[in-house]
Structure 1
Amino acid sequence: MHPGTRTFVTAAVVTGLAAVLVFSRMYSRFILVKHAGVEDYLIVLAFIFSVGLTAVIGLEVKNGFGEHTADLAPEAFVTIFKLLYVSIIMYSLGLLTLKTSILFQYLRFFVHRTFRRLAWALMALVVIGGSVLVLTSSLSCLPVAFNWDKTIVGGHCLNQPPLWYFMAGFTIVTDIAVLILPMPVLRSLHLPRRQKYTLMATFGLAGFGCITAILRLQSLHASSVSTDIMYDGPPAHAWSSAELNIGIICACVPSLRPLFSLAFPRFFSTSRPEYLSNPYPPGASYQRNDSTVELSRVAKTQYETTAVRSQLDNTSTEVDDDKAIHIKQNWSVTENHISA
């Protein structure tokens, strides 16, 4: 298969898979739960950038990307390098919004104070670092038109291969940080081992994006040392699209529990086992105040066994110093279970 065609097919397939997960997540959050958060809007934005990247790859291939450099007309170079410029920005913005979405999702799921501080700090690093990389990528040549027109007098560019490697390194480091961040909290939960490992595996799906980012390095190196970049460049684009879309897919999985419960009620029943379904001991007092149900005299260890499971059912809880539990959103409270 032609290198350009293979790259476009790869990008189209992974984008299609991401579309299925994103639309499923939107159905779950907007229709079933009716409580979308900022992380849901950000994942949609990341997907839009992914679709844009795939469209740009298609236009590049249409204009000869994947052909040998010697076989292309001069005007084709101009068009392809314009599209390459756009693709780099699409990729960078897609990763920035994707990671920010994941971290906002963490803030919805987890209430541990130290964890939240670390999540906010990592988010600041991702947003600031990602924004700097987007600006650096878009302004790596001045004037901007020098990216595709080397005849401009006085134009100059940064040494781009080191910039590519730095961007890849930053992506990998932040991928690893996002992957590791929730693991200590999940490991400390008072849950049966099987449920605990299932939760860790669910949140550990981000590791696939990290693996893809590492594999992308090889194709970046091949492009940077190539003497025929038009022919050797497409694999780097394929890996870029795969990295972004696999990240989107993995970020959507934890939000699909309500949809799974609807489709497979036997396996994803909203009723809890006794140690999960009755977190309110007999006589525990509570009072309803529009969007808050305050439950007192609930042991902290009992809360920890339900916190993450409740969050996966699209809730958000906070624990005060007096160990009262505040459950946000309108909840109906019965003797044996809670339903959002």
Structure 2
Amino acid sequence: MRIPPADVIAKWPPSNYVDPVRRGPELFIASSIFLGLATLAVAGRIYARLVVQRWFGLDDVFILIAFVTTLGVSGVVFFATAHLDWDRHVWDVELDMIPPSLKAFFAVKIMWAISSSFIRLSLLAFYYRLLDHCQIHRFRWLLHAATTWHIALLLVYLFTTVLACLPIHAYWTFPAPAGSVCVSEASLMMIWGALNTFSELVVALLPLPVVLRLHLTPRQRFTVIALLSLGILVIGASCARLFFLWRAFASYDLTWWSNAHWICSEVEIDAALICACAPALRPVLASI
């Protein structure tokens, strides 16, 4: 755990454990709306695959993995906000809440990374199928490189996150056990956040060479534009999440500023799920 310097703690107001200032319900409202839309998109995708098209691809498996871990992220964040004081200023958080809060944060970081990575891997698997409709041989090599990058990025992040403290339990132990060693969590998460945003931009722009070569009807072209616009929303939410993450670590008021960070995180992965499921929903929408 990152302990604030003494001069920072000296400027904090007295702790208020009885009736502290709390964040409003914006996290629950925004997250519930976007998670609900993402759930509908995933359910529609599964229906389209199993009932309408009667086949299930690797990209669908990746989406299910991403959706399950997204549910895990939302569940833990909701619980921690309601019961572990994630909606308070850090000086109003009781000390006995710190270990379970850090355990929750540890779990959320892992699940969120898995979710966002598998959403992009699902899109990359979908892009491979687009190759059947065009003759761009170099595009396959770009897909190979992008897929390798995303898998390597996820594995490196999981490795550095799990082993951020040695022994591992030192991450959520307060005060830290004697002899334990931890890397800078702020640096690790900011680097991962920047690489994650870059990766989303790559996945959003990667299919453009293929799309531009396809002969699309006006309706299909509108659909492509709508999907690209949703991709811009994902990247925008990712940039906002990165800003609030920096703000949380820079201010040492992690619980207070991470509230906005979690809203952006929920919007980002839920919008990404919707974007990844949209192409598979065409058979369902066509039958309505």
State if a TM-score over 0.5 links the two structures. yes
Alpha carbons 2:248, 2:256 under 8 Å: kept: no
Q: How does 1:1-340 map to 2 (within 5 A)?
A: 2-3=22-23, 5-61=25-81, 62-111=83-132, 112=135, 113-149=137-173, 150-192=175-217, 194-195=218-219, 197-198=221-222, 200-204=224-228, 205-263=230-288
Aligned length: 262
Answer yes or no: is the 8 Å Cα contact 2:157–2:192 preserved in 1. Answer: yes
Displacement after TM superposition at 1:255 (Å): 0.8
| Shift of residue 214, structure 1, vs aligned partner | 1.0
Cα distance in structure 2, aligned partners of 1:69 and 1:214:
24
Deviates more, 1:137-146 or 1:21-30: 137-146
Moved more, 34-43 or 106-115: 106-115
Aligned mates of 2:98, 2:225 — CA distance in 1: 45
Q: CA deviation at 1:161?
A: 1.5
The CA distance in 2 between the partners of 1:201 and 1:122, in whole Å, is 23
Identity of aligned residues (%): 24
Cα gap change, 1:206/1:153 in structure 2, threshold over 3 Å: closer, same or farther? Answer: same
CA distance in 2, matches of 1:4, 1:51: 22
Per the alignment, in what secondary structure is the counterpart of residue 110 of structure 1?
helix
The 10-residue stretch of structure 1 (194-203 or 31-40) with the greater mean CA deviation from structure 2: 194-203
In the TM superposition, structure 1's runs of 4+ consecutive aligned residues that sit over 3 Å from their partners are none
**Cα shift readout 1:174-208 (whole Å, capped 9, x = no counterpart):** 1111111111121122445x356335325523232
Name the aligned partner's letter for residue 114 of structure 2: L
Deviations 1:150-174 (A, max 9, x none): 3311112111222111111111111
Q: Which amino acid aligns with 1:64?
A: D
Structure 1 counterpart SS, 2:179: coil
Q: Check 1:191–1:12 CA distance in 2 against 1; reply closer, same or farther (3 A cut).
A: closer
Bigger CA radius of gyration: 1
CA contact (8 A) 1:59 1:83 kept: no
Cα gap change, 1:146 to 1:176, in 2 (>3 Å):
same
Q: How far does the alpha carbon of each residue in 1:260-287 deviate from its partner, in whole angstroms, 9 at most, with x for none?
A: 1111xxxxxxxxxxxxxxxxxxxxxxxx
Contact kept in structure 1, 2:245 and 2:257, CA below 8 Å = no
Instruction: Write the deviation string for residues 73-100 of structure 1: whole angstroms up to 9, x where unpaired.
Output: 2111111111011111111011111110
TM-score under structure 2 length normalisation: 0.85
More helix by share: 2
If each structure's strand is expressed as a fraction of its own residues, which one has the higher value? 1
Unaligned runs of 5+ in 1: 264-340
For 1:160 and 1:75, how far apart are their aligned partners in 2? 21
Q: TM-score, normalised by structure 1?
A: 0.73
Aligned residue identity for 1:52: G
Q: Once the two structures are superposed, what CA deviation does each residue of 1:268-322 show, in whole Å capped at 9, x if it has no partner?
A: xxxxxxxxxxxxxxxxxxxxxxxxxxxxxxxxxxxxxxxxxxxxxxxxxxxxxxx
Relative distance call for 1:159 and 1:12 in structure 2 (3 A) is: same
RMSD: 1.8
Q: Which amino acid aligns with 1:169?
A: A
Which secondary structure state, in structure 1, belongs to the residue aligned with residue 55 of structure 2?
coil
Distance in 2 of aligned mates of 1:66 and 1:126:
33
